[in-house]
């Protein structure tokens, strides 16, 4: 079983997708075609278009995005397209998604620019076992001594993420519904499989101006281009789970999933916090479920045509 990185070419740009390809597992993330095509809220998408939107260019994946406060004790410390979050608590800090190993120094720089200390990170969480989200775990642990937490279903895939030969550290294995607590902060893990076996959507609350808001750190709901019956069952359950979660602030493993660039621009302009946006909570789910159903329909049509 091999860890591979694929270059996906488009007319506009070259995209480094860095998929984890596990032999014999149809849950592996692969390249995406330009079909089927769907239209949601006046925007047209293809599987390749969604992948391109999420990943951007290789430069986008590495370039620091201005670190900033999202809401309460939650801060953005990732790159232009690969999300990473710092959750600050009196008992130490939590880092969610280390992205690629090469980005860990950039994340540490962002943490410092916000006035915090990288070595204060006590817990490292991840959304799912792909290199663009969790490859940096070993280096981040080396730099901080933090405990690395992983969903049980993603442990086999994480074992194959070995940048520079480093063994992927896992200090605590969790299951659906488990919580992670630090300094009064509590995050709940929701298993939302499909994109990977252990794809994890995290929820917590954040306070601002005397009010408490439900925050959802979504795991990708992007379906593979070949959907087996097992994957179909997983995604159908995951869409149902995500739609049932209380949500005032939607975040995600790629910031394009919640329109971060636009929200950050509005944040800089002043006024109400644009991240508090109930309407956006279902937008990405609607898009990905529509694409999921379109892929299933295309597979069924292809099968019928060949029988």
- In which band, very low, low, confident or very high, does the pLDDT at 13 lie, cut at 50, 70 and 90? very low
Contacts of 252 (CB under 8 A, 6+ apart): 83, 217, 218, 219, 220, 258, 284
Q: Which H helix or E strand runs over 125? A: strand 121-125
Residue 138 has pLDDT above 90, yes or no: yes
Q: Looking at 24-28, 83-87, 211-215, 223-227, which range is the least confident one?
A: 24-28
Q: What is the mean pLDDT of residues 79-95?
A: 98
How is residue 183 annotated by DSSP? T
| Alpha helices, DSSP H, located in 14-147 | 47-55, 58-62, 104-113, 131-134, 137-144
pLDDT band for position 31 (50/70/90)?
Answer: low
Return left, alpha or beta for 93; rule: phi > 0 is left, psi -120 to 50 is alpha, else beta. Answer: beta
Mean pLDDT for 218-229 is 94
Q: How many CA atoms lie within 13 A of 18 on its CB side?
A: 22
- Is residue 183's pLDDT more than 90? yes
pLDDT of residue 22: 33
Question: Residue 265: is it exposed, middle or buried by C-beta count within 10 angstroms (0-12/13-18/19+)?
Answer: exposed
Task: Give the closest residue to 78 by CA, choosing from 41, 113, 39.
Answer: 113
Could you tell me if residue 1 is inside a domain? no
When pLDDT is cut at 50, 70 and 90, the band that residue 50 belongs to is very high
pLDDT band at 32 (very low <50, low <70, confident <90, very high): confident
Question: What band does 307 get if pLDDT is binned at 50, 70 and 90?
Answer: confident
Query: What is the CATH classification number for the domain harbouring 101?
Result: 3.60.15.10
- Mean pLDDT, to the nearest integer, of 202-223? 97
252 domain residue, yes or no? yes
| 2 inside domain | no
Beta bridge partners of 92: 89
**Better-predicted residue by pLDDT, 6 or 178:** 178
Tell me phi and psi for residue 80, to 5 degrees: -65, -30
pLDDT at 21 over 50: no
Residue 8's DSSP bridge partners are 15
Is residue 279 a contact partner of residue 286, using CB atoms and an 8 Å limit? no
Please tell me whether the peptide bond between 36 and the residue prior to it is cis, using omega within 30 degrees of 0. Answer: yes
Asked if the structure places residue 137 within a domain, the reply is yes
Phi, psi (deg, nearest 5) at residue 188: -110, 135
Residue 212 structural domain:
7-301
Q: Which residue in the block uniquely carries the two structure tokens 């997983």? A: 234
What pLDDT digit, counting tens, does each position of 261-294 carry?
999 999 988 889 999 999 999 999 999 999 999 9
Give me the mean pLDDT over the 80-94 stretch: 98
Q: What is the pLDDT of residue 268?
A: 87
Average pLDDT over residues 241-265: 97
Q: pTM of this prediction?
A: 0.89
Read off the pLDDT of each residue in 199-219 and give the average, rounded to a whole number: 97
pLDDT at 18 over 60: no
Looking at the 3D structure of the chain, how many domains does it have? 1
257 in any annotated domain: yes
Is it the case that residue 7 has pLDDT exceeding 80? Answer: no
Report the C-alpha gap between 79 and 64 in whole angstroms.
4
**Which residue has 């049509």 as its token pair?**
301
**Residue 50 placed within a domain:** yes
Assigned domain for 85 exists = yes
Instruction: State the average pLDDT for the chain.
Output: 90
**Of 23-32, 242-251, 264-273, the least confident:** 23-32
Residue at 307 is within a domain: no
Q: What is the pLDDT of residue 6?
A: 29
């Amino acid at each position: 079983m091999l860890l591979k990185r694929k270059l996906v070419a488009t007319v506009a740009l070259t995209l480094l997708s860095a998929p984890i390809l596990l032999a014999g597992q149809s849950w592996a993330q692969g390249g995406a075609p330009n079909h089927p095509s769907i239209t949601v809220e006046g925007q047209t998408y293809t599987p390749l278009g969604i992948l391109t939107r999420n990943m951007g260019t290789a430069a986008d994946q590495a370039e620091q995005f201005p670190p900033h406060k999202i809401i309460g004790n939650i801060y953005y410390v990732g790159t232009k397209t690969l999300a990473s979050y710092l959750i600050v608590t009196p008992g130490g800090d939590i880092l969610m998604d280390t992205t690629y190993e090469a980005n860990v120094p950039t994340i540490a720089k962002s943490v410092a620019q916000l006035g915090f200390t990288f070595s204060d990170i006590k817990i490292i969480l991840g959304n799912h076992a792909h290199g663009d989200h969790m490859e940096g775990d070993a280096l981040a642990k080396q730099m901080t001594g933090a405990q690395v937490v992983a969903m049980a279903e993603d442990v086999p895939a994480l074992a194959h993420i070995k940048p520079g030969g480093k063994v992927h550290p896992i200090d605590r294995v969790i299951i659906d519904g488990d919580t992670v607590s630090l300094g009064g902060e509590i995050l709940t893990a929701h298993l939302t499989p499909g994109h990977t076996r252990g794809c994890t959507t995290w929820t917590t609350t954040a306070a601002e101006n005397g009010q408490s808001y439900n925050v959802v750190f979504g795991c990708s709901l992007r379906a593979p281009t070949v959907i087996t019956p097992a994957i179909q069952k997983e995604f159908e359950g995951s869409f149902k789970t995500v739609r049932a979660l209380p949500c005032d602030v939607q975040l995600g493993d790629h910031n394009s999933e919640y329109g971060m660039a636009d929200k950050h621009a509005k944040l800089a302009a002043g006024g109400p916090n644009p991240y508090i946006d109930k309407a956006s909570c279902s937008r990405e789910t609607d898009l990905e479920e529509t694409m999921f159903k379109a892929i299933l329909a295309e597979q069924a049509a292809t099968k019928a045509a060949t029988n």
